[in-house]
């Protein structure tokens, strides 16, 4: 069950193994979301850094402004160019290595993301998209994940062949769409000293969100999103089923037509008349348009993501509940 094995010379480099991120990048992303992106809007920005052996180092980032109606003629490319030029003046690495986006309850597997990541990866092979989940972070643990498109998916996007046969040829399942790159956060000594200073001067965090027991709100929203996606998926499946039913009906019709033709020709031959001319079958029975299957793949991937998140959340909450039970048991 193997897909096509193509060895392109540019793919000889080992895949990016880990990603080193500098602390200021993390803080900047958090701040950007906090200030500009309340609600379910996404905030986006660009990651800058360099490639070191088999690691991708992200050393800086800058945010993209939101798309508002009164900024219709806002030129994104120009903004980016200017930012990078200015940053070069202060010796910041100006190599584009990816982009970041915030997500709402884990819903980021979409066509838009795929297209953007594809164009980035096409231009720069090692680029990643960093997904920041502010809601999970607010619950107590920094949620930052890095993804790249698998080489198989890159090929498909390049050929733009989203028909069922194309996807089948490449043998892609929804688990093979994105690959996660492990993240490591690195600090320099100076920043470590800064952290000492901060810890010294600031009060202890008074909220330990991670041990919060309330879970129903989060579960409700996640399940709502999951149900929406499953509805989308079932609609998609219905479409595909009607398509295949139409196709097979058409095949039958074609078959019957050809058989009738043959019978007629046989009869005519027995009567000594010239056979009827062969007509172009394909023009008579135009095959129905196969629906693009990329959306199904994306929806499946998204559903998978939601399920993973929900399971992680429930396991954490179960742990917390058992802890509360132990505490209560001691009291009684």
Partner 1 sequence: MSVYGPVVKIHPVVLASIGDSYERRNEGASRVIGTLLGTIDKHSVEVTNCFSVPHNESEDEVAVDMEFAKNMYELHKRVSPSEVIIGWYATGFDITEHSVLIHEYYSREATNPIHLTVDTALQSGKMNIRAYVSAQMGVPGKTVGVMFTPLSVRYVYYDTERIGVDLLQRTRVTPSRTKGLTSDLSQVASSASRVQDMLATVLSYIEDVLSGKVTADNSVGRFLMDLVNKVPTISAEDFETMLNSNINDLLMVTYLSNLTQAQIALNEKLRLRPTHYTAIHIYHC
Least separation in angstroms between CB 237 and partner 1: 7
Binding track over 200-219 against partner 1, x by CB under 8 A:
-xx--x-xxxxx---xx--x
> Which pair of tokens denotes residue 177?
């769409």
- Of 77 and 274, CB closest to partner 1: 77
268 vs 259, 262, 279, CA distance in Å?
A: 14, 10, 16
Q: Could you give the 3-state DSSP secondary structure of residue 3?
A: coil
Contacts with partner 1 in 14-43 (CB under 8 A)? 20, 22-24, 26-28, 30-36
Binding track over 247-266 against partner 1, x by CB under 8 A:
xx--x---------------
Among 53, 69, 199, 280, binds partner 1 (CB under 8 A): 199
Determine the Cα angle at 132 with ends 313 and 236, to 5°. Answer: 70
Q: For residues 129 and 98, is the Cβ–Cβ distance under 8 A?
A: yes
- Of 23 and 125, CB closest to partner 1: 23
- Of 230 and 284, CB closest to partner 1: 230
- Of 11 and 38, CB closest to partner 1: 38
Residue range at the interface with partner 1 (CB under 8 A); choices 4-12, 107-115, 268-276, 293-301: 293-301
Query: How many residues belong to the site for partner 1 (CB under 8 A)?
Result: 107
Side-chain-facing half-sphere of 32: CA atoms under 13 Å? 24
Q: Is 282 in the site for partner 1 (CB under 8 A)?
A: no
- Of 46 and 149, CB closest to partner 1: 46
Residue range at the interface with partner 1 (CB under 8 A); choices 8-16, 114-122, 123-131, 180-188: 180-188
- Of 158 and 168, CB closest to partner 1: 168
Among 7, 8, 89, 283, binds partner 1 (CB under 8 A): 89
156-195 per-residue burial string, b: 16 or more CB within 10 A, e: under 16: bbeeeebeeebbeebebebebbbbebebeeeeeeeeeeee
Q: Could you give the 3-state DSSP secondary structure of residue 100?
A: strand
Contacts with partner 1 in 123-142 (CB under 8 A)? 134, 137-138, 140-142
Residue 279 DSSP one-character state: P
> Which pair of tokens denotes residue 2?
């193997």
- Torsion angle (degrees, nearest 10) of CA 27, 30, 31, 37: 160
Tell me how far apart the terminal alpha carbons of the chain are, to the nearest angstrom: 60
Using CB atoms within 10 Å of the CB of residue 120, give its burial: 0 to 12 exposed, 13 to 18 middle, 19+ buried.
Answer: buried
Among 51, 79, 166, 232, binds partner 1 (CB under 8 A): 79
Give dist(CA 47, CA 138) in Å, integer: 23
- Of 267 and 322, CB closest to partner 1: 322
Residue range at the interface with partner 1 (CB under 8 A); choices 111-119, 149-157, 225-233, 262-270: 225-233
Q: Is 148 in the site for partner 1 (CB under 8 A)?
A: no
Q: Is 95 in the site for partner 1 (CB under 8 A)?
A: no
Residue range at the interface with partner 1 (CB under 8 A); choices 103-111, 121-129, 177-185, 260-268: 177-185
- Of 76 and 264, CB closest to partner 1: 76
Q: For residues 148 and 179, is the Cβ–Cβ distance under 8 A?
A: yes
Q: Which residue is associated with the tokens 């929900």?
A: 310
Give dist(CA 144, CA 177) in Å, integer: 19
């Amino acid at each position: 069950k193997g897909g096509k094995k193509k060895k392109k010379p540019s793919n000889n480099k080992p895949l990016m193994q880990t990603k080193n991120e500098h602390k200021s990048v993390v803080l900047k992303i958090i701040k950007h979301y906090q200030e500009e992106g309340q609600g379910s809007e996404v905030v986006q920005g660009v990651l800058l850094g360099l490639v070191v052996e088999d690691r991708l180092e992200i050393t800086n980032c800058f945010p993209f402004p939101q798309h508002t109606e009164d900024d219709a003629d806002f030129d994104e490319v120009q903004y980016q160019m200017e930012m990078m030029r200015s940053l070069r003046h202060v010796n910041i690495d100006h190599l584009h290595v990816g982009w970041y986006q915030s997500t709402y309850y884990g819903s980021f597997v979409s066509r838009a993301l795929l297209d953007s990541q594809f164009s980035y990866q096409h231009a720069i092979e090692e680029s990643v998209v960093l997904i920041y989940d502010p809601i999970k972070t607010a619950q107590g643990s920094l949620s930052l994940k890095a993804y790249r498109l698998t080489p198989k998916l890159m090929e498909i996007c390049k050929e733009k062949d989203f028909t069922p046969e194309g996807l089948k040829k490449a043998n892609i399942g929804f688990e093979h769409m994105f690959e996660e790159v492990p993240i490591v956060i690195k600090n320099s000594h100076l920043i470590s000293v800064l952290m000492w200073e901060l810890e010294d001067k600031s009060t202890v965090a008074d909220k330990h969100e991670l041990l919060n027991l309330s879970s129903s709100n989060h579960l409700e929203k996640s399940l709502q999103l999951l149900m929406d996606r499953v509805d989308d998926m079932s609609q998609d499946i219905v479409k595909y089923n009607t398509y295949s039913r139409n196709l097979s009906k058409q095949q039958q019709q074609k078959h019957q037509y050809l058989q009738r033709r043959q019978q007629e020709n046989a009869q005519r031959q027995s009567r000594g008349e010239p056979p009827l001319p062969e007509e172009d079958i394909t023009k008579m029975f135009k095959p129905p348009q196969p629906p693009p299957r990329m959306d199904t793949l994306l929806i499946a991937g998204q559903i998978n993501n939601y399920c993973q998140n929900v399971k992680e959340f429930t396991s954490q909450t179960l742990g917390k509940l058992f802890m509360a039970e132990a505490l209560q048991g001691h009291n009684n």
